[in-house]
Amino acid sequence: MNLTSEVTEYMDELIDIRRHLHQHPELSFQEENTKKYIADYLENLGIEVKKDVGGNGLLGYIKGGHEGPTIALRADFDALPIQDEKDVPYKSTVDGVMHACGHDAHTASLLITAKILKNHEKDIHGNVVLIHQHAEESLPGGAKSMIEAGALNGVDYIFGTHTASHIEANKVGFCSGPAYAAADSFEIDIQGLGGHGAMPQLAKDPIVAASSLIVQAQSIVSRTIDPLESAVVTFGTFKGGNAFNVIADKVQLTGTIRTYLPSVKEQIKERLNGILNGIESSYGVKCHLNYHDGYPPVINHKKETEWAKSLAAEIDTVEEAYDFPPSLGGEDVGYFLQHVPGTYFFTGVGNETLKANYPHHHPKFDLDEQALQNSVKLFLSIIEHSSELEQ
């Protein structure tokens, strides 16, 4: 087999699928039309499809004609609550909803991969599970529920990709070990005693208390965590107060904590609780922390990462397969990698000339669609060389 050589003839279809999905985005847990589109496409190819897996997720099964491992390929398909501001023919038709993170491209790439694999299923060593995952963008995410519904049953390895507009098109990045962080969130409610702005002695000001908390929290990473470890504590919102001359009664803060190691997460939580106790004592207020464990870190397996990188380096349209630094962003693909070995790689789609250099989650996010062939080619190469994983 030389499956990667066939991708060129499907490029127009790949782009058409991506643009269709881009024009018809759906938010997490609301992907009814998208899942139908995916299911119809796979079934028209003659691929067995299992629907409503853990929610709106779908599984496709391709059974090879020879013995070999079972490999899962994963793509997500939900969109974001962002207004599309691009001036392009394939602009989102749904007000306030947009594929601003490349999930439309992930889905299109996996569908074309499925089409080519189905044409050659008798030559495949092992089996392929196509994981089309819903709800990556919103907690609790779709990966965990899909796993609980049996998405990884019989799967030996898993591979997936994320487009990256900050990587030049025709480059592919690989990160062995921690690639994305655990993405937790929190709310802190501070109850004070409201009063007149001219008589602060009669009030207990939660805004001043919250301000002190924010400043003290900046020392958690710099003075609690080992400098050789990575972590982030970010406050995202500060809500409280209704008038310039009124001391607020209560304040709410929200934010996120990003870590790679569970031990570091526990250190941060312990230190944050300690600061809150001090705030209560110092300002006479009451503090309540509501902490939400988010997605686990994405930990790529070394052997599978290096192997996939070596395959990418042999692809004719990949200019460079290189080591990509880890990020403190979050992704629920980490759930899959907790259960079976594999890797999550980064397909470069950035192209300044095409205005495809805006960051992910930006209202003008776009990508170099020609670069999507590299996702397809690497998926195909992984399946074509799958027997090497067993050596």
Q: Tell me the catalytic residues.
A: 78, 136
Q: Is 137 annotated as a binding residue?
A: yes
Residue 164: which residues within 8 A CB-CB, separation 6 or more?
Answer: 173, 346, 347, 348, 349, 350, 360
Q: Using CA atoms, how far apart are residues 262 and 277, in angstroms rounded to an integer?
A: 23
Q: Using CA atoms, how far apart are residues 262 and 140, in angstroms rounded to an integer?
A: 18
Q: Is 175 annotated as a binding residue?
A: no
Count CA within 13 A, CB hemisphere, residue 101. 24
3-state secondary structure of 111: helix
Q: Is 301 annotated as a binding residue?
A: no
**Residue whose structure tokens are 């602009």:** 91
Smallest CA-to-CA distance from 108 within 209, 15, 44 is with 15
**Residue whose structure tokens are 């049996």:** 150
CA end-to-end span of the chain: 19
**Residue whose structure tokens are 């939580």:** 269
How large is the angle between the packed helices 103-119 and 32-44, nearest 10 degrees? 20
Say if residues 8 and 373 touch (Cβ distance below 8 Å). Answer: yes
Q: Is 22 annotated as a binding residue?
A: no
Q: How many C-beta atoms lie closer than 10 Å to residue 209's C-beta?
A: 23
How large is the angle between the packed helices 11-23 and 32-44, nearest 10 degrees? 160
Using CB atoms within 10 Å of the CB of residue 149, give its burial: 0 to 12 exposed, 13 to 18 middle, 19+ buried.
middle
Say if residues 3 and 384 touch (Cβ distance below 8 Å). Answer: yes
- Side chain identity at residue 332, one-letter code: D
DSSP bridge partners of 364: none
Q: Is 101 annotated as a binding residue?
A: yes
Q: Using CA atoms, how far apart are residues 33 and 97, in angstroms rounded to an integer?
A: 14
Annotated binding site for Mn(2+): 101, 103, 137, 162, 361
